[in-house]
Copies of this chain bind each other. A is one copy, B any other.
Amino acid sequence: MPDLSTASGLVAALNEGNRRALARVISHIENNDALAQPLLAALYPQAGAAHLIGVTGAPGTGKSTLVNGMALAFRQQGLTVGIVAVDPTSPFSGGALLGDRVRMRDLAGDPGIFIRSMATRGSLGGLAQTTADVVMTLDAAGFARVIIETVGVGQSEVEIASTAHTTIVVEAPGLGDEVQAIKAGILEIADIFAVNKADREGADRTVMALQMMLALGGTGHQQILHHGRMLPVDLPPAPPADGWTPPIHKTVATQNQGIAALVEAIEAHRGYLQHSGLRQTRDRLRAATELRMILRDLLLQRTLAAIPAADIAALVHAVAAREIDPYSAAQRLVARTTS
């Protein structure tokens, strides 16, 4: 039996399908302890086969129930499913009401499903990287589909979802803010739209609003990733704008309506990405973003470790006292490490 106190033992157990080992690996990664780096380095080459699905939408759109239904549909096709919830309002991350949690039990006890919720109140910027690492771990552990559920209101959360291969934006009628969500730039990241709670009044209006927005100027997933500051990457030319038109699917997740068609659309998009070469592009963009984030943190750690804490404290004091601005202070710290 593998030794679960070592990185190699944990990876061996994970590869045998040991779910306890998987949970432990994720904890090490989340805690960023001594085993985290060796685990990530060992798992990374194993990953890359999973199809990553981002699901995002405002609170109240019912996206958790939708994710639940999607997971069950994938299971019926014999596909294993990992779920990563970074949404504080999700039942998966323990934030929701009793009814939701009961519904979530549909998934419990099935070894082909693994659910992990992320602590959404950590350090600035840390959430995105930890989420990427946990998603990679589920990928490496062999899950065929990994669903990342985020709340489509926070900037980081939307960006996390949009790094998936297929991004689903969930809307719902009657929230009063469906138009807002669209305006907030969420339209641009959608590969597929789900209008959930479609048995409610106003569902057709929501669908029509989305259709109009799409007709006015869908820009495609690519663009929002370019807007972020990225590592320079040699990119293949952008795909024709008509390569993929985000379909709009009406669903009633609580009654399992429309889920099969939604899952079909995901698989169609998966095929499209592969045939068009876009899957490779997205994987490269994700790699570039990840490398950039890791490099940034690594450089900061090294620089701070190289300067006496008292000197840093003195500089912080000077900034707080407005004797120096933080930009000049940062320049000064950089100069010290390079001289």
Interface residues of A (CB under 8 A from B): 37, 40-41, 44-48, 58-60, 88-89, 94-97, 120-128, 151, 153-159, 176-177, 179-181, 183-185, 224, 227-229, 231-234, 280, 283-284, 286-300, 302-304, 309, 312-313, 315-317, 319-320, 322-331, 333-334
When C-beta atoms are compared, the residue in chain B nearest to A32 turns out to be: B229
A sample of 17 cross-chain residue pairs with beta-carbon separation below 8 angstroms, ordered by A number, consists of: A45-B325, A48-B322, A58-B59, A88-B180, A89-B153, A95-B180, A97-B176, A154-B157, A231-B312, A231-B316, A234-B317, A287-B319, A288-B316, A290-B326, A294-B330, A295-B330, A298-B334
Is there an interface contact between B184 and A121, defined as CB atoms closer than 8 Å?
A: yes
Docked-complex contact B155 and A121, CB < 8 angstroms: yes
Given A120-B155, A121-B227, A299-B299: A330 and B177 within 8 A (CB)? no
Contact A155–B294 (Cβ < 8 Å): no
Contact yes or no, B316 A284, CB < 8 A: yes
Contact B233 A60 (CB under 8 A): no
A-B pairs with the 5 shortest C-beta distances?
A154-B154, A88-B184, A44-B325, A123-B228, A299-B299
Asked if B317 and A159 make an inter-chain contact with CB atoms under 8 angstroms apart, the answer reads no
- Decide if B44 touches A232 in the complex (CB within 8 Å): no
Count the copies.
2
**Contact (Cβ within 8 A) B296 A300:** yes
Residues of B within 8 A of A313 (CB): 231-234
Which residues of the partner chain B approach A127 to less than 8 Å between Cβ atoms?
Answer: 155
Question: Considering only CB atoms, which chain B residue lies closest to A319 in the complex?
Answer: B287
Bound complex: CA A320 to CA B333 (Å): 33
Chain B hits for A44, CB < 8 A: 322, 324-327
Q: Which residue of B lies closest to A93 (CB)?
A: B184
For A304, the chain B residues whose CB sits under 8 A away are 231-232
A327 → B minimal CB distance (Å): 6
Contact present for B41 and A328 (CB under 8 Å)? yes
Closest-by-CB residue of B relative to A229 is B123
A228 vs B97: C-alpha distance when bound (angstroms): 28
Contact between A320 and B121, CB atoms less than 8 A apart: no
* Cα A94 to Cα B59 with chains together (Å): 20
Q: How far is the CA of A304 from the CA of B294 in the complex (A)?
A: 13
| A302 / chain B contacts, CB cutoff of 8 Å | 334
Q: Which B residues are in CB contact (< 8 Å) with A227? A: 121-123
CA distance in complex: A85, B309 (Å): 35
Nearest Cβ distance between residue A181 and chain B, in whole angstroms? 8
- A153–B155 CB distance below 8 A: no
Residues of B within 8 A of A326 (CB): 44, 287, 290-291, 294
Most buried by B among A41, A48, A59, A324: A59
